[in-house]
Amino acid sequence: MFGGLGMITHTTFPEQHQRAMQDASDPIHRACDFFVQSSANKSLDLPGVNQWLHSPQVWAAWPEFLVAFASQGCGDYFAYDLRQSPASVIYISPDGTPEEHLANPESLRYSSFAEWYESQLDRYICERCGSRDVSIKASQDRRWLVRVCSACGFEERIEGYRAMKTSPNGCRQRRDRVSVDNRTSSTRRA
């Protein structure tokens, strides 16, 4: 249990999620901040993050049926919505409360962990050779994000993504709205 909260334990996560938590070499750990069952890094500690999100210390405490399991690192979270079985995944941005995201039909959602997992890794798969050894960097002119395959050397601009800028609080933020899996995130980042 997470600090006595009435949430699921890591052993009730989907099998694919459990394997990814236990395998530090799983590519999901490179694609996002993927929480693990126990970590000295408080921002990756699954029980600690969830205990904090459900506490009154947060400006908008989370409902008990949401369990955060990953982040992109700037106060946003991917969370299981446990009101249905199997649990779906919803993206909770820092731009609104969990209730606002749950009520918004435009919020980014996935029907399962497997669907979410593949969406996170899509950008790390080379379209030319199929390698998962792809990194993302800024273009030479610093205007676009570029995928670079270290296996075959293939480079391509990521359509729909502008290069990142750093905000005053140190978070890297997208300059424009992006489309993910043909769904547009309702979150606009400065």
Read off the pLDDT of residues 8-33 as tens digits, 9 standing for 90 and up: 555 579 999 999 999 999 989 988 99
| Domains and their CATH numbers in the chain | 10-122 (3.40.1580), 128-182 (no CATH)
User: How far apart, in whole angstroms, are the C-alpha atoms of residue 39 and residue 35?
Assistant: 8
- With a CB cutoff of 8 Å and minimum separation 6, the contacts of 172 are 73, 74, 164, 165, 166
Closest CA to 27 of 119, 157, 133: 133
What's the confidence (pLDDT) of residue 149?
A: 92
Angle at which helices 113-121 and 15-22 pack, to 10 degrees?
A: 50
Please, which contacts does 6-11 make with residues 24 or more away whose CB atoms are closer than 8 Å?
6/64, 7/50, 7/54, 7/64, 7/67, 7/82, 8/67, 8/80, 8/82, 10/37, 10/46
Give me the residues of the chain with pLDDT under 50, please. 1-7, 164-190
